Amino acid sequence: MESISRITSLLESARELTLDAAQSARNSRGSTKIIPASQIKKLLDSRNDREVLDGLRKVISLMYHSQPCLTYFSSVVKNVASPNIEIKKLVYIYLLNHAEQEPDLALLSINTIQKSLSDGNPQVRALALKTMSGIRVTVISQIVSLAIKKGLGDMSPYVRKAAALAIPKCYRLDPNTMPQLLDYLSTLLGDKQYYVAGAAVKAFMEICPERPDLIHKHYRGLVKKLVDMDEWSQLVTLRLMTIYSRKCFPKRTRIVKTKSKKNGTHGFYGDEGSEGEEGTETGEEVQDLDPDLELLLKSIRPLLQSRNSAVVVAVTRCYINLGTQEYISSSIGPLVALLRGPQDIQHIALYNIVSVCLTRPEAFVKYSSHFLVRSTDPPQVWELKLEILTLIFPHSEAYLKILILNELEHFSRGSDKDLVREAVRAIGRCAQSDAGTSARCLSLLLKQITSLDGNLVAESLTVIRHLIQQDPTPHIGTVIRLAKNLDTATNPRARASIIWLVGEFSGIDGENNIAPDVLRILAKGFADEAEAAKLQIVLLAAKVYLHHLNRTESTEPVKPVLSPTPSYLPSMGNEGFAEMDGAADDVYQPKDVEPEHPIVVLWNYVLLLARYDTSYDLRDRTRLYKALLAVPSSTQLASLMLLAPKPVPHTPSPSESRTGFTLGSSSLVVGEDGGLHGLRGYEALPNWVEAGKEPDPSLRDSDLSKAEYDDRRIVPAGERLDSVVKDTKTGQPSTINGFGATGAGPAKEKTLDDWLKESDAEEESDDEEESDEESEDDEEEESSEEASESAEEEEDESDDDDKEHDRLVK
Amino acid sequence: MRCLTHYPTWHAIVSVSRQRSRKWFNICRWVVGHGDMRLGISSGCDVGIGLLRTRRSTGGGLEKKLRGSRSCSRSHKDCPCISWSSLPSTPRLELGYSTVLANATKHNPVLTMSEVIEALHVYDENNRPILSHVYTGRPLSAQQLLPLYSNHPQPRPSLIYLPNTSPPTLVFSLIHSNLLFLLTSSSEIEPLLALEFLHRIIDVLEEFVGSPLLAHKVESSYDVIAQLLNEMCDSGAVSTTEPNALRDLVEVEGWIGKLLGGITIPGKAGFSTSSSSNMSGISSATALAANTPALPWRRANVRHTSNELYVDIVETLSVTLAPSGRPLAAFANGTIAFTSKISGVPDLLLNLSTPSGKQNINSVMELPVFHPCVRLARWKEKPGELSFVPPDGRFVLAGYEVDLLPFQSGQGISANTSSLKLPVQVEIKTNLGPTGSDFEVKLLITKVSGQGNSSISGSSSRSNAGGRAGSGFGGLGMHAGTSSTPTLEDLVVSIPLPDGVRNLSEIRPSRGDTTYNPGGTNLEWHIPAKEAVAGGANLRCTVAGPLTDEEDFEGNGFRLDGKYDYDEDAYQSTPAQSEKVDKPDEHSDARKIEQNKILMPSTASVSFSVKGWLASGIKVESLVIDMRKSRGVGEGVRPYKGVKYLTISRKGVEARC
């Protein structure tokens, strides 16, 4: 939803705004003027409330300008006792910001603040509690804890809310107050007022998210209050509920035989395309929802119409991780509706949409027109939009496919280089994902290669090359067509791509191949080529020569076995290049008993050209090929290296690397830059609890809660402490934050071996996770593997590297 | 170190490998438990664990093994490095790559601190920090942050991650009326939460300080802003953001304000002096003492002398036209803004309808979102009826979208392509003229019929957009369009030009005027409201490409020709030579057309605003106060009601070619 300020700016004309600006310029109070410190001090020390307030205002402006204002600390703080609430507020604000620097002086004010805790005005009480907990001086942690305790029983929910919010602050001051805080927390979680409960959930999530046992008895209450809470509490409660549900409701599925039904009514999940089809064969897997889980899923449904985009995403996250298909599909529309928002929200929403779209592209098909790229979109937005278009492409109907391709074609002809590149790559991904249209995509790309825009040509060719590699046989004609374009193509990358492709096809049809002819023409212009193209020319020459060798070898099978190298003695024939070459390097001896075959001549010529090139890389490679092909009789090694079947390049969708991150998190947006395990503080959702290991559902019964609640209260502190320690001990050692530390205490007795044993066991249980990661790694390493398999993949490899680099940068 | 004596030959080398981070972590914890080896952990680093027996004999072997292991994929400077300070006896291994290491702090309980906002910074248009409010933690200062933010290439995304700061920081940014707002957090936080919060801050500041938000307005009301920011976010956790609730908590204009000479807050909604006078000082405290405000979005004890209700429906167009003129996508994103200045607790019912009646409003208003005050059950039961108790002042009641091409969404309604009625139609043609260097933009301005009689059933029926202009609300001039005669204003066509364009040698608009800077990448064509009458208009331009490039190209061409001259191939022999004599012109023309193709714009987008007309045709049927449910509204109060319709396109109608 648009914010009111944006709507207002739409409604008001520019003239009005300038008037307003001028007016406010006149009205400006000039508080930016520098006032001597002594004068401020005098104002602060005044007995007149008005002057004190004035002085405080000045101090606050200094503070906001990040100018030093510690000098006024004592003068400001002594006003804390003022009965005037406005003065109090400003003093509190000052204290919150500066108490840390002057802990001793700050302590002097604690007493007064403590008195305010019993003020008649709830606002004053709440403020006092808030300020006291916000002062970052460790020694007062016990006082804060007491103040919170007092706040718990306050009549005003406003004060109780402040108490709830003070809990995490107190914990940050001194983690040892934990047991008391947990006690307070369990009271507050059950508060009847939704905004107190909301604040309590916030505190819970911060200090002890791994204690679902505290939630059980409040679960249903919280779910019911959820809709009434303010948006920020809804967010945190949704987060809690998603984690809680994963921990407490085992995923139960039952197989429903839908075979007979499917034919008639198309079943309950009629709209889910592919999954439904699977169902006809195996029987459909239907998730059995726990009634409590269903209660949650049902009651958060209205939140899909929340004005807060974060809430919509949080509900979607909840549905996707917990709910059934029915719930998930209801959340798709609202998710797409986030694109109406301002650009910043749009951008983040798109990341979330892409993340959902990667697993459920078919749900987004009907919203495809929302993802058309507009000329006003910034790069980060159109990039994601193009990705979504390519993701939904294979699932859409014919007319939509044409629409998407037209769209991509349009942008591939644009003037923005990055956009052109992305659009062409997107066409490539479309072709890759949907075999039916790949011919059309290819013709689309082939149209582009005659363009004068070198950038577009190069990009198209790279994609064409990938497409051809995927299915080489029908594309021999295409390669010939491309080779013809060598006359006009000027972009080195484009030329290199074409030459490489010609080289790949040089083995087909024996003598009738175009490759030697292409090489002949290229050799003429060798000196004017760019380095990338030269590298490929040399590679092409090597391939052509190798094929030639292989052919001659198969026609005269006896010769190589009987006569190894010595039979090719350097003979100073009529071949000038060979002569020079032979002289320079006696490893290679051309056979020239009969007039040289033109290919051999060509090969020698190219070797010679490359030998005197300025690029050492080129010279090195040439030497490598030369050595490889030095002995015409033994071409196995060369064949292995040069003619190895190339792995089919598969371009993953750019966002695929981030799919592991939870929907709605910053880690999802930041992606790999934030580290493999997400940003600091990021925790993935827990896995579903195994059936049988979940807590007893009766714990959530509300009538029980009273009795249990009382029981808990009588538990002696010592026992409670024990249980806390026990809990944390069993907690996963991987939790870097929070309780991990407490766990380290008892662990002191352990030896390293013990730890290792433990970690081994854990690793086993984590194998699944790891293999996932590994497979990701494999994908990343694809390019380097290619390199080791076939030495000539250089061009390709560097391309991939580029891509990967791009992704990292993003 | 006690434990190490049991295993005198064992030390740990920790290098980090992704798969093994857990194991690695255990070692770290063990080490921490036994010695004071310092550990620094940074995510994202490759980890490999090697246990090293420090007997010199085995050292070499291990070294080799480590060399063989995978090296860190990231640059070394980003890698935390293992230093061995606590293990002096260890033979130092020369590890040529990412030796990751244990830098050593006592393993402090690191607090999660997730979902915490750490600081808010505001900069003015000259990038001078004018406000920085620290919520928690020890974030970067405003001066440190800005260069890091500006280093990011434009256009900057709304979320920027700074991995190299300490601690690594997430920066959320938003620019509003020339002010730059930055929000930071050093750990995982829901990005939408942060951004929504930023938007709320701006809304609230505009409401309290006055809109538009300007640097000196901010600077002159630090005390109010400090209180607001303190209430809105309590040490990192977002708390109260409802403007009404904040008005109960923050005094804007107490007695002290009056004494200081009545700094008038520019008269924005809800800030008439009459309403603020009774909420100052103690009265607000008593309001709180009365406990739980029943409605979190409405402040207590609202009192107005004049009761007014305004509905503004704004629709923003987003239309994409194919080269053929066929619309590919056409949406109107609607927002219903509401202003309520009514005493007590009124319960309102707003009735919306579409031209085709009320029953299908649900299919017209798609994917609606609502302010929390709207009763969703009522809307579900009777679509088109919004029943709510409004907050006091101005707020956004609902948002929706309308698909102006309903047949496309597969519902099979009559496929009437011409169903899209816009006040302006635009078409762009390129590659015109003998050398293909011209392009032409055609506009067809049509009159739209207004929303019809927009009178609202209720007390005052004489309320349309024109009437409201006089009430001093918003910036509506008297000439503004009314519902019966909508007018087209601010008509601007903008045409982005490719980078290669050096100049537009000729620009001929049939009406209006154009702005273009030679070398610029944008051509704008303004048609003032007076000239924007129904009828056609066109703009024809001639582009000039880069000079140097042209010459280069010629040279290139000759070179190619020359090359083939030496070529003894049959296909480039005599006939080519003979043709060269009489066909150079045609040849170069074709070349030029090809070249000019790159210089042609690919889109033209139109901006305009129409007052008194909505693209969707949605209308306000009625707005009534439900007197039975309302409290404290007062007998016989007949509020003044007004409706305003506005359709806006901000480069929203886009024609491609």
B411: Cβ contacts below 8 Å, ≥ 6 apart: B363
Q: pLDDT-derived band of residue A129, with 50, 70 and 90 as boundaries?
A: very high
What is the rounded CA–CA span in Å between residue A222 and residue A300?
A: 11
Q: What is the pTM assigned to this prediction?
A: 0.75
What is the rounded CA–CA span in Å between residue B27 and residue B20?
A: 11
Other beta carbons less than 10 A from residue A716's beta carbon: 8
Task: Please indicate, yes or no, whether residues B284 and B325 belong to a single structural domain of this protein.
Answer: no
Answer for the pair A602, A629: CB distance below 8 angstroms, yes or no.
no
Tokens of A606: 């190219």
In a domain, residue A143? The reply is no
What is the rounded CA–CA span in Å between residue A156 and residue A347?
A: 41
pLDDT score recorded for residue A479: 84
Q: In what order do the strands lie in the sheet with B169-176?
A: B129-134, B119-123, B179-185, B169-176, B159-162
Task: Please indicate, yes or no, whether residues B74 and B180 belong to a single structural domain of this protein.
Answer: no
Which DSSP string corresponds to B138-174?
-PPPHHHHHHHHHHSPSSPPSEEEETTSSS-EEEEEE
| N-term to C-term CA, chain B | 75
3-state secondary structure of B467: helix
Over the stretch A772-788, which tens digit does the pLDDT of each residue have?
444 444 444 444 444 44
> How many domains does one find in chain B?
3
B249 at the A interface (CB within 8 A)?
yes
Answer for the pair A437, B580: CB distance below 8 angstroms, yes or no.
no
A61 contacts on B by Cβ (under 8 Å):
219, 222
Residue of B nearest to A525 (CA): B563
In a domain, residue A575? The reply is yes
B43: Cβ contacts below 8 Å, ≥ 6 apart: A674, A675, A676, A677, A678, A679, A680
Residue found under tokens 């030896």:
A751
B241 at the A interface (CB within 8 A)?
yes
CA distances from A627 to A608, A631, A643, A726 (A): 14, 8, 16, 68
Length of chain A: 810
CA A765 to chain centre: 26
Task: Please indicate, yes or no, whether residues B278 and B363 belong to a single structural domain of this protein.
Answer: no
User: Angle at Cα A302 formed by Cα A296 and Cα A306, nearest 5°?
Assistant: 120
Q: Based on C-alpha coordinates, what's the Rg of chain A?
A: 36
Q: pLDDT-derived band of residue A167, with 50, 70 and 90 as boundaries?
A: very high
B605 at the A interface (CB within 8 A)?
yes
Contact across the interface for B170 and A670, Cβ inside 8 Å: yes
Tokens of A207: 């200090």
Boundary (domain end) residue, out of A616, A642, A668: A642
Task: Please indicate, yes or no, whether residues B127 and B268 belong to a single structural domain of this protein.
Answer: yes
Task: Out of B107, B217, B226, name the one closest to residue A93 (CB).
Answer: B226
Task: Out of A21, A28, A744, name the one closest to residue B33 (CB).
Answer: A744
Bigger pLDDT: A95 vs A762: A95
Q: Are strands B424-432 and B438-445 parallel, antiparallel or unpaired?
A: antiparallel
Tokens of B489: 């204003």
pLDDT mean across residues, chain A: 77
In a domain, residue A199? The reply is no
Over the stretch A55-89, which tens digit does the pLDDT of each residue have?
998 888 888 887 888 888 888 888 888 888 888 89
B36 at the A interface (CB within 8 A)?
no
What is the rounded CA–CA span in Å between residue A453 and residue B123?
A: 42
Task: Please indicate, yes or no, whether residues B129 and B240 belong to a single structural domain of this protein.
Answer: yes
Query: Per DSSP, what are the bridge partners of residue B315?
Result: B334, B647
> What is the phi/psi pair of residue A202, to 5°?
-55, -45
Boundary (domain end) residue, out of A642, A676, A699: A642
Contact across the interface for B129 and A774, Cβ inside 8 Å: no
Other beta carbons less than 10 A from residue A278's beta carbon: 13
Answer for the pair A420, A373: CB distance below 8 angstroms, yes or no.
no
B543: Cβ contacts below 8 Å, ≥ 6 apart: B437, B438, B439, B497, B501, B503, B504, B505, B596, B599, B600
Q: Domain range spanning residue A804?
A: 772-809
Boundary (domain end) residue, out of B45, B78, B111: B78
What is the rounded CA–CA span in Å between residue B499 and residue B481?
A: 39
- Residue B444: which H helix or E strand, with range? strand B438-445
Other beta carbons less than 10 A from residue B600's beta carbon: 23
pLDDT score recorded for residue B340: 92
Answer for the pair B252, B281: CB distance below 8 angstroms, yes or no.
no
- Residue B134: which H helix or E strand, with range? strand B129-134
CA distances from B562 to A238, B553, B580 (A): 73, 14, 13
Answer for the pair A539, A792: CB distance below 8 angstroms, yes or no.
yes
Which DSSP string corresponds to B277-288?
HTTSTHHHHHHH
Answer for the pair A185, A156: CB distance below 8 angstroms, yes or no.
no
Task: Please indicate, yes or no, whether residues B152 and B285 belong to a single structural domain of this protein.
Answer: yes
Burial class (CB in 10 A: 0-12, 13-18, 19+), B623: buried
Low-confidence residues in chain B, pLDDT < 70: 1-114, 252-294, 407-419, 450-484, 547-587
What is the rounded CA–CA span in Å between residue A654 and residue A671?
A: 11
Q: Helices H, strands E: what count in chain B?
A: 17, 25
In a domain, residue B112? The reply is no
What is the rounded CA–CA span in Å between residue B394 and residue B392?
A: 7
- For B:425-454, CB contacts with A below 8 A are none
In a domain, residue B144? The reply is yes
Task: Please indicate, yes or no, whether residues B164 and B281 belong to a single structural domain of this protein.
Answer: yes
- Report helix angle A492-504 to A454-470, nearest 10: 20
Task: Out of B19, B188, B399, name the one closest to residue A666 (CB).
Answer: B188
The answer to whether the peptide bond before residue A649 is cis (omega within 30 degrees of 0) is no
Q: Domain range spanning residue B345?
A: 308-422+615-656
Over the stretch A717-751, which tens digit does the pLDDT of each residue have?
555 555 555 555 444 444 344 443 444 444 444 55
CA distances from A611 to A320, A585, A616, A626, B449 (A): 61, 12, 9, 11, 78
Q: Are strands B503-509 and B619-625 parallel, antiparallel or unpaired?
A: unpaired
Answer for the pair A692, A250: CB distance below 8 angstroms, yes or no.
yes
Residue of A nearest to B254 (CA): A86
> How many domains does one find in chain A?
2
Task: Please indicate, yes or no, whether residues B371 and B273 belong to a single structural domain of this protein.
Answer: no
Q: Residue A127 pLDDT > 80, yes or no?
A: yes
In a domain, residue B430? The reply is no
Nearest-Cα distance to chain B for A654, in Å, is 17
Task: Please indicate, yes or no, whether residues B72 and B31 belong to a single structural domain of this protein.
Answer: yes
Contact across the interface for B26 and A755, Cβ inside 8 Å: yes
Q: What does DSSP assign to residue B344?
A: S
Answer for the pair A733, A726: CB distance below 8 angstroms, yes or no.
no
B603 at the A interface (CB within 8 A)?
yes
pLDDT score recorded for residue A74: 87
In a domain, residue A493? The reply is no
Which DSSP string corresponds to B574-592?
HHHHHHHHH-HHHHHHHHH
Tokens of A164: 């709830």
In a domain, residue B469? The reply is no
B394 contacts on A by Cβ (under 8 Å):
4, 8
Contact across the interface for B43 and A675, Cβ inside 8 Å: yes
Task: Please indicate, yes or no, whether residues B338 and B367 belong to a single structural domain of this protein.
Answer: yes
In a domain, residue A418? The reply is no
In a domain, residue A660? The reply is no
In a domain, residue A623? The reply is yes
What is the rounded CA–CA span in Å between residue B126 and residue B250?
A: 30
Answer for the pair A218, A191: CB distance below 8 angstroms, yes or no.
no
- Alpha-carbon torsion angle A683, A685, A686, A692, nearest 10: 160
A668: Cβ contacts below 8 Å, ≥ 6 apart: A351, A352, A355, A658, A661, A662
Residue found under tokens 């350097």:
A570
Boundary (domain end) residue, out of B289, B318, B344: B289
Sign, Cα dihedral of A203, A206, A207, A210: positive
CA distances from A29 to B92, B125, B225, B268, B272 (A): 66, 20, 15, 20, 21
In a domain, residue A34? The reply is no
pLDDT score recorded for residue B73: 39
B498 at the A interface (CB within 8 A)?
yes
User: Angle at Cα A499 formed by Cα A495 and Cα A500, nearest 5°?
Assistant: 115
Task: Please indicate, yes or no, whether residues B128 and B242 belong to a single structural domain of this protein.
Answer: yes
Boundary (domain end) residue, out of A608, A642, A676: A642
CA B108 to chain centre: 39
Answer for the pair B444, B425: CB distance below 8 angstroms, yes or no.
yes
Q: What is the CATH number of the domain that holds B320?
A: 2.60.40.1170
In a domain, residue B68? The reply is yes
In a domain, residue B442? The reply is no
Percentage of chain A modeled with pLDDT above 90:
18
pLDDT score recorded for residue A722: 59
In a domain, residue B295? The reply is no
Task: Please indicate, yes or no, whether residues B319 and B416 belong to a single structural domain of this protein.
Answer: yes
Answer for the pair B191, A348: CB distance below 8 angstroms, yes or no.
yes
* Among B140, B242, B122, B229, CA closest to B178: B122
Task: Out of B32, B115, B496, name the one closest to residue A236 (CB).
Answer: B115
In a domain, residue B138? The reply is yes
Q: What is the CATH number of the domain that holds B148?
A: 3.30.450.60
Contact across the interface for B22 and A738, Cβ inside 8 Å: no
Contact across the interface for B25 and A734, Cβ inside 8 Å: yes
Q: What does DSSP assign to residue A357?
A: H
Other beta carbons less than 10 A from residue A549's beta carbon: 22
B295 at the A interface (CB within 8 A)?
no
Bigger pLDDT: A351 vs B465: A351
Contact across the interface for A406 and B237, Cβ inside 8 Å: no
